[in-house]
Structure 1
Amino acid sequence: MNLSAELLINGRWTAASQGASAPSLDPADGRDIGRFSAATRADAEAAIAAARAAFEKPSWAQSPRLRQNVMNEWADRLTRKAEELAQLLTRENGKVVAQSRGEVMGAISEIRYYAGLSRHLPGHVLEVEPGVFSTMLKEPAGVAGIIVPWNAPVILLIRSITPALAAGCTCVVKPAPQAALITAAVIRELSEVAGLPPGVVNLLSETGHEVAQWLTTSPEVDVISFTGSNLTGQRIMAAAAPTMKKLSLELGGKSCCLVFEDADVERIAPQLATAATVISGQQCTAARRVLVHASRYEAMKQALAAALASIQVGPGSAPGSQMGPLIDPGTAERVQRRIEQAMDDADEVILRGQRLGGPLLQGGFVSPTLVAHRDTSASFVQDEVFGPLVVLEKFETEPEAVARANHSDFGLSASVWTEQGARAWRIARALRNGTVWINDHNKLFAEAETGGYRRSGLGRLHGADALIDFTEIKHIYQSVGVLESLKG
C-alpha cells in the first residue's frame, strides 16, 4: 500500500502551494512507502494566519467543554485505528511493532488526560484591601508552533499538542520528514472530529527548514514547542528571541544508570540492555552510561555484554525483532562512524558493534556496542550519540558515583539501582536530572512531568505543569468598595 499525506490548513487538506512532494522511505529496506506534500514559506504563512484567526474567536479559546469533547472524540477515533497506526509507525520509523503499539496507546492515554485538564484551569482571587480585588486568570498563550522529531513521532506530537489544545491555544504542527505519513494519519483523525473549528490545528510537512524557521521567527506565533538536538534548540532560542516567544524545549540527554553493590546484576543487565536499545538507542532518555560499583564491575561487564549481544536486530515488523534499524542508512552510517571513533578512543572495547549486512544491507541496522572508559571528559561520554552505544564506568563510593553522573552538560534522566531505599532517595536527590527512576528505567506517564536540567532544555511536558508553557496569567484589578453599613 502506497500512502500520501497532504497539508492541513484552515480545516482543509490540500497539496503544497508549489505542488512539491517527497517520498517517505522504510528504514528497514529503503523502499518507498508513500509521499508527502512539501510545504513552503507561503504555506506556513497561510497556516499561521488560519491559526491566528481561529484563536481570536472565543469559540475555541474560551470553550473548555468543547476542547474536552473534541479531544475525547479524537482519542476514540485513534483507539479504533490503533493497530493500523502502529503498523504504519513501524513501517515509517523502523521501531519494533511492540514499541509502536505502546507508543500509540500511550498517546491515546495522554489525550484523555489533557481532555480532563482542559476543564480545570483555575485562577485565584485576592482581596488585597477592603473592597479591592485582584483576580488572576489563566489564559491561552496564543498560536503554538509544534516541531516534532522522528524518533517517537506519535507520543512526542501528542505530549506537545494536547496541553496546547487543553489550554485553548491553536496550533501549527511541523513534523520531521521521516515521520510525515504517521503524523498526518494521526492529525487526520483529529481534523475529522465534529466541532473542531477550522484553523485550530494545522499541519505542514517539509523537506528542509523553511517552515520551521518561519514558525520560530513569525510575530504571529506565540509559543514554540520543540523536541530535538541541543544545537537546534539553541538556534531556535536565538531565532525566537526578537519576538520573545514562550519556549518549551526538550533537547536530549546522556542518561546514567548507577548500579550499587547490592544490586542483582544478572537480573538488571537485561533491563539495562533494553533501556539502551529502545528505538535502536534513538531515544533521549535511553540508557547511555552505566556506572557500577567496583565490587560488581566485572560481573556487570560480562552480564551487560551478553545481554546486549543477545538483542535480536531486524526489521521492526519481523517476529522476534527486539531492535529495528536506525531512521535511515545515512544516519546509521554517521552514527556508526561515531561509535567506531569511540571504540578507538575507549579504554576497553567489550562488545564491538557494526553496520549489519546480508539481508539487512539496505536498511540502517547497527548492532549494539559496549565500551569501558574512565575519563568522563571523553567526547563519547559527554556527547549524545543517538544510537546503540553504551559506556561502562566504575565507581567506589556514593559521592564518586554522583560526581561522575553529574559531570555532564545534560540533565534529562537517570536511574538508581539498589535495594537500600534510603540510599536510592539520597542519590536521586543529589543527581541533577529532571527524572530519576529507582530500580527501573524509561518509565514515562502522562501524569508525571518530564524535562531536563541544564542543556537538556526548558520547561516540562506531561503532567499539569505542561500547561504552564501554553498559558499566560492575567491580573485583573477592580476596586468595588464596601457597603456603607459595614464601615466602622
Structure 2
Amino acid sequence: MTALTGLVARNLIDGAWVDAADGAAAPSFDPATGAVIGHFPASGAADADAAIAAARRAFEQPGWAQNPRLRQMVMLRWADAMERAGEALARLLTAENGKPLAQSRGEIAGSVSEIRYYAGLARYIPGHAFEVEPGVFSTMMKEPAGVAGLIIPWNAPSVLLIRALTPALAAGCTVVVKPAPQTAILTAEILRTLHEVEGLPPGVLNLVCETGHEVARALVTSPEVDVISFTGSNATGTRIMADAAPTMKKLSLELGGKSCCLVFPDADVAAVAPKLAAAATIISGQQCTAARRVLVHESRFEEMKAALKAALAGLQVGPGDAPRSQIGPLIDADALARVGRRIEETMAAADEVVLAGARPGGALEKGTFLSPTLVAHEDTAAFFVQEEIFGPLVVIERFSDEKDAVRRANHTQYGLSASVWTNDGARALRVARALRNGTVWINDHNRLFAEAETGGYRRSGLGRLHGYDALIDFVEIKHVFQDAGVV
C-alpha cells in the first residue's frame, strides 16, 4: 500500500471547516512505522464553546429535531456515501490505527450497516396515549434530549463513532464529536461524508479535535450539553460522572472489560483454540470485549493450554497493510510502554509463562508491535486477572465444575462480555444466565452488530449502545396531560 502522507484534518463548526482558534496543530502517526501521516487541529476550550453554541442553535430550530423524515433521508444518503468511500476509509483506518486491513474493511462495512439501521428507526420512535379517567388523557412523547457530546476512542474509531452518532441523529439531537487524537484524521474524513450530504442543516454536526482534555472537559461541564456518550477507561468514566454531576446530564458510558471464555469438557479444543486466539488479539488485544481470560475444565486444561499456545504463536505480527498480517501494532509508543511493562510484571508473578510475548525486531523495530503472551494462573485475585491490560495478554485458568467456572468468571469488577463453549444446549443457557455480563456469546466471541444492544454490568458502564434501546440515552419522555372532558 502506498504510504499516506500530508493529510490534513480540520474542525467542523456550524457547517464550516476551520482550524483551531489559535492555529495550533498536531501530528498524527502511523503506528507501524512511526512516520507522520498528517496533522489535525490542537483545539481548546474556545473551539469547544463555539461548536456547542452552533449545536444549540441548530437544535432549537424545528427543521432537524422535529423532522424524522429528513433525518432518515440524510442518514440513508450518508450510508451510500460511506459505502462509496469504503476502501479509501479502510486504508486510512489501517494507516492511522494500525489494525490489519481486513479488520478495517469489516469495521467500515459494519459502520455503513449501522447507519442504515438507525436511519430506519428515525421514523419509528413512538410514544403512547391512554385515557386515565373519562375524558382525561395522558400522552407520552419521546423527544430528542438536545445537544450530545460524543467522546470517541481510537481502537475502533469508525464503528464506535457511528454507534453513538447514529442513534443521536436518529433521535433528533445535534452533536459535537471529540475524537481521540490518534485517529482524528479518520474521524474527520468519515464526518466529511456526512457533512457533504444534501439536506444536513449547519450546526447539526460539529467536530472538534484536540491533543489534551480541554475540549472533552468543556463538553462534560457545559450546561448547554445535555448528553455525553463516552467509550474508554474506567478512570476517565469516573471523572466524567463526577464532572457531569452539577449539570445532571444523561450519560452513556461503555468502560472496561475482562472477558472470560468458559470452555467445557465437551468442546472441540482443536477447533476452539484458534477462535479464542483471534478473539484475544483483535485490534492487537486493544478491544474492551477481547478474550482475556480462558477458563477450561480441568479434564481438558493441558490440551487447551498447548493448543492455545500454538494458535497464538502462529499468528502473524506485521503492518496492517501486509497481506498476511493478523496482529498489527499497538496504537502508540505510550501504549507499548504501558502494556509492555504490565505484561513483564505479569510474567514475573504468574504461576506459569506458557508463551512469552516480545517486541519483534528487524523491519518491525520502528513500529509499536508486540507479540502475544499467554500465562497460566490459579488465583483470580491476581492483578493481571482483575485488571484490564489493553494488549495481547491472555490468562488461562482451570475449573472443576459449572459452579466453579461461574464463580471464577464472576470474580471481577467488570461485566461487559463473556463466552461459553459447549455442545450442551441446556448447559450453555444455564451458564450464560448465571454470568454477570451484558453480552454472553455461545460458541463464538466478539460478534457485535447494529441490531443487538451492548453494554456492561457493574464497572463496565452505564446504558446500552447498538439496538433500539440505544435511543434511550438520546431522548427525553414528556408527559402531556389534558382533561378534554366528555360529550
TM-score range with shorter-chain normalisation?
over 0.9
Q: Give the TM-score of the pair, scaled to structure 2.
A: 0.99
Aligned partner of 1:393 among 387, 397, 421: 397
Partner of 1:269: 273
Could you report, residue by residue, the CA deviation over 1:439-476 in whole angstroms, capped at 9, with x for unpaired residues? 00000010000000000000000000000000000000
Once the two structures are overlaid, the 10-residue window that deviates more, 98-107 or 324-333, is 324-333
In the alignment, structure 1 residue 129 sits paired with structure 2 residue 133: yes
d(CA) in 2 for partners of 1:357, 1:176 = 28
In the alignment, structure 1 residue 372 sits paired with structure 2 residue 376: yes
Whether the 8 Å contact between 1:329 and 1:362 is mirrored in structure 2 is no
Partner of 1:448: 452
d(CA) in 1 for partners of 2:266, 2:166 = 42
d(CA) in 2 for partners of 1:24, 1:263 = 44
Equivalent runs, 1:37-48 vs 2, <5 Å: 37-48=41-52
Equivalent runs, 1:2-21 vs 2, <5 Å: 2-21=6-25
Aligned partner of 1:91 among 90, 95, 98: 95
In the alignment, structure 1 residue 431 sits paired with structure 2 residue 439: no
Could you report, residue by residue, the CA deviation over 1:84-128 in whole angstroms, capped at 9, with x for unpaired residues? 000000000000000000000000000000000000000000100
d(CA) in 1 for partners of 2:285, 2:335 = 12
Partner of 1:472: 476
Compute the displacement of 1:39 (Å).
1.2
The alignment of Structure 1 onto Structure 2 pairs a total of residues equal to 483
SS at match of 2:257: coil
Quote the RMSD (CA, aligned, Å): 0.5
In the alignment, structure 1 residue 110 sits paired with structure 2 residue 118: no
d(CA) in 1 for partners of 2:371, 2:461 = 29
Aligned partner of 1:252 among 252, 256, 262: 256
SS at match of 2:299: helix
Could you report, residue by residue, the CA deviation over 1:346-387 in whole angstroms, capped at 9, with x for unpaired residues? 000000001222211111100000000000000000000000
d(CA) in 2 for partners of 1:2, 1:321 = 25
In the alignment, structure 1 residue 361 sits paired with structure 2 residue 377: no
d(CA) in 2 for partners of 1:37, 1:232 = 22
Whether the 8 Å contact between 1:97 and 1:317 is mirrored in structure 2 is yes
SS at match of 1:478: strand
Equivalent runs, 1:153-192 vs 2, <5 Å: 153-192=157-196
In the alignment, structure 1 residue 416 sits paired with structure 2 residue 420: yes
Compute the displacement of 1:260 (Å).
0.1
Partner of 1:201: 205
Could you report, residue by residue, the CA deviation over 1:203-260 in whole angstroms, capped at 9, with x for unpaired residues? 0000100000010000000000000000100000000000000000000200000000
Equivalent runs, 1:319-334 vs 2, <5 Å: 319-334=323-338
Once the two structures are overlaid, the 10-residue window that deviates more, 323-332 or 255-264, is 323-332
Could you report, residue by residue, the CA deviation over 1:332-355 in whole angstroms, capped at 9, with x for unpaired residues? 121011001000000000000012
Partner of 1:62: 66
SS at match of 2:446: coil
d(CA) in 2 for partners of 1:337, 1:37 = 31
Whether the 8 Å contact between 1:292 and 1:393 is mirrored in structure 2 is yes
Could you report, residue by residue, the CA deviation over 1:370-408 in whole angstroms, capped at 9, with x for unpaired residues? 000000000000000000000000000100000000000
Compute the displacement of 1:415 (Å).
0.1
SS at match of 2:480: strand
Aligned partner of 2:220 among 194, 206, 216: 216
Partner of 1:79: 83
In the alignment, structure 1 residue 347 sits paired with structure 2 residue 351: yes
Partner of 1:236: 240
SS at match of 2:143: strand
SS at match of 1:153: coil
Whether the 8 Å contact between 1:7 and 1:15 is mirrored in structure 2 is yes
Could you report, residue by residue, the CA deviation over 1:24-82 in whole angstroms, capped at 9, with x for unpaired residues? 00000100000001111111000000000000010000000000000000000010010
d(CA) in 2 for partners of 1:127, 1:334 = 60
Partner of 1:141: 145
d(CA) in 2 for partners of 1:465, 1:356 = 44
d(CA) in 2 for partners of 1:81, 1:223 = 30
Once the two structures are overlaid, the 10-residue window that deviates more, 66-75 or 351-360, is 351-360
Compute the displacement of 1:329 (Å).
2.0
In the alignment, structure 1 residue 53 sits paired with structure 2 residue 57: yes
SS at match of 2:54: helix
d(CA) in 1 for partners of 2:338, 2:147 = 36
Matched letter for residue 277 of structure 2: A
d(CA) in 1 for partners of 2:286, 2:420 = 21
Structure 1 outlier segments of 4+, above 3 Å: none
SS at match of 1:126: strand
Compute the displacement of 1:330 (Å).
2.3
SS at match of 1:477: strand
d(CA) in 2 for partners of 1:28, 1:339 = 20
Matched letter for residue 240 of structure 2: I
Matched letter for residue 117 of structure 2: Y
d(CA) in 1 for partners of 2:50, 2:325 = 43
In the alignment, structure 1 residue 311 sits paired with structure 2 residue 311: no
Partner of 1:227: 231
Matched letter for residue 18 of structure 2: T
Whether the 8 Å contact between 1:174 and 1:211 is mirrored in structure 2 is yes
SS at match of 1:79: helix
SS at match of 1:225: strand
SS at match of 2:199: coil
Partner of 1:486: none
Whether the 8 Å contact between 1:415 and 1:437 is mirrored in structure 2 is yes
d(CA) in 2 for partners of 1:128, 1:374 = 59
d(CA) in 2 for partners of 1:297, 1:465 = 39
SS at match of 2:267: coil
Matched letter for residue 160 of structure 2: L
Could you report, residue by residue, the CA deviation over 1:273-292 in whole angstroms, capped at 9, with x for unpaired residues? 00000000000000000000
Compute the displacement of 1:310 (Å).
0.3
d(CA) in 1 for partners of 2:371, 2:421 = 26
d(CA) in 1 for partners of 2:349, 2:132 = 64
d(CA) in 2 for partners of 1:213, 1:440 = 38
